Amino acid sequence: MTKVFLRKKIQNRVLNGHPWIFGNEVGEISGEVSPGDIVDVFTHNGFFVGRGYINPQSQIIIRLLTRDKNEQINDQFFYNRLMKCWQYRQKIGYVENCRLVFGEADEMPALIIDKFNDYFVLQTLALGMDRWKGAIVDALNKIFQPKGIYERNDVPVRELEGLAQIKGFLSEPFDTNLVINENGLKFHVDVVNGQKTGYFLDQQDNRRAIQHIVKDADVLEAFCYTGTFSCHAGYYGAKSVLGLDISETAVNTARRNAELNNLSDVCKFQAVNAFDVLKAWTKEDKKFDVVILDPPAFTKSRENIQKAITGYKEINLRGMKLLKPGGFLVTASCTNLVPPSLFLEIIDMAAKDAKKKIKQVTFQTQAQDHPILWNIDNTTYLKFLIVEVS
């Protein structure tokens, strides 16, 4: 097997548990290198570090799959890993709908699998993982006997690995418009055309957190997408709920979700630019009891981080100004490039600029089926905050 030796001065990050090895961290390669192949990784002086897949075309040249010298990477390896993931989700109570595999946090870098009851949606985001797609599908079939498996590999990041963007069935075709249960409600999941894998499971715990603050309240949700927070607000007793999103398709799904849960009288939706509306309504002095902000990631690269900070600060400032005294701001950020400490700092800056006082109610991360490893920063990506604003 091809051997890769790390540079002495910059190998500590990998030795401390991070599975990514960048090109500039590699000192020497002994043997043939074929993109997607499994290689053994050693320290500069020959101590075994781990085994993973290599792709010289990628900025992340190697992603480690195991640190056990005796563990071979084969079909059985993926079956064992998937079984381990499933047993963990069962232990923490996520059995119906869950993120079954959360990439690096589950020791399967660049693999995402979401479970929607008896259906699975997967993404293989690196060449080395894509090579094992057949073994992964076989393992899913053995463990779950699913009604259907679909791949959502229509993501630009694959092109950095020399892979094409594709989507389609990895099982017999099935009706991809699913309906799932969450916190006592039902929601449509558009496996083929919805964002990411068709539904944002990472907020399922956080959606419960609004239960008490929305009772008898007038609620505004900006960037509502398919209205999951809005429907939860209606379900938990809100007086009125208005959801805003720029996507007509998302808004139509939001309306269908409200209808599915008999909430059409309470939950209304508009296809508008939420940024513009927040700005206009601030000037009009419109007021709500609760404002929910769950925007898309404002940046996917470090170069645009300042732009993202400005964007988050702006919408949160406007959200605060739209609240009645003693109202609640529910706000989230899903980019891992904005760490929790920076996110809280942004909210603090927004409050000062809006001349508001804030009191933290709760600060949470993504749902527990998206595990966090403390030595891998990008596994902590979702920040979810509720504050009282006065």
CATH of domain 3-66: 2.30.130.10
Q: What is the reported pLDDT for 103?
A: 98
- Cα 186 to chain centroid, rounded: 20
**Of residues 137, 52, 128, 144, the one with CA closest to residue 89:** 144
**DSSP 8-state class, residue 296:** P
Contacts of 55 (CB under 8 A, 6+ apart): 35, 36, 61, 62, 126, 127, 128, 161, 162
Q: What is the reported pLDDT for 146?
A: 98
Distance CA 338, CA 380 (A): 10
Q: What is the reported pLDDT for 335?
A: 87
Q: What is the reported pLDDT for 336?
A: 85
Contacts of 276 (CB under 8 A, 6+ apart): none
Please tell us whether the domain made up of 75-174 is placed in CATH 3.30.750.80: yes
pTM: 0.95
Q: What is the reported pLDDT for 326?
A: 98
Distance CA 224, CA 294 (A): 7
Residue pLDDT tens, the chain, 390 long: 899 999 988 768 899 999 999 999 999 999 999 999 999 999 999 999 999 999 999 999 999 999 999 999 999 999 999 999 999 999 999 999 999 999 999 999 999 999 999 999 999 999 999 999 999 999 999 999 999 999 999 999 999 999 999 999 999 999 999 999 999 999 999 999 999 999 999 999 999 999 999 999 999 999 999 999 999 999 999 999 999 999 999 999 999 999 999 999 999 999 999 999 999 999 998 999 999 999 988 767 777 788 889 999 999 999 999 999 999 999 999 988 899 999 999 999 999 999 999 999 999 999 999 999 999 988 999 999 999 999
Distance CA 304, CA 226 (A): 27
CATH among 2.40.50.140, 3.40.50.720, 3.40.50.150, 3.40.50.970 for 178-389: 3.40.50.150
- β 288-293/323-333 pair status: parallel
Distance CA 151, CA 348 (A): 40
Distance CA 344, CA 347 (A): 5
Domain extent listing, the chain: 3-66, 75-174, 178-389
Q: What are phi and psi of 263, to 5 degrees?
A: -120, 15
- Angle, in degrees to the nearest 10, between helices 305-321 and 274-283: 40
What DSSP letter does each residue of 204-235 carry, written as one string? HHHHHTTTTTTTT-EEEEES-TTTHHHHHHHH
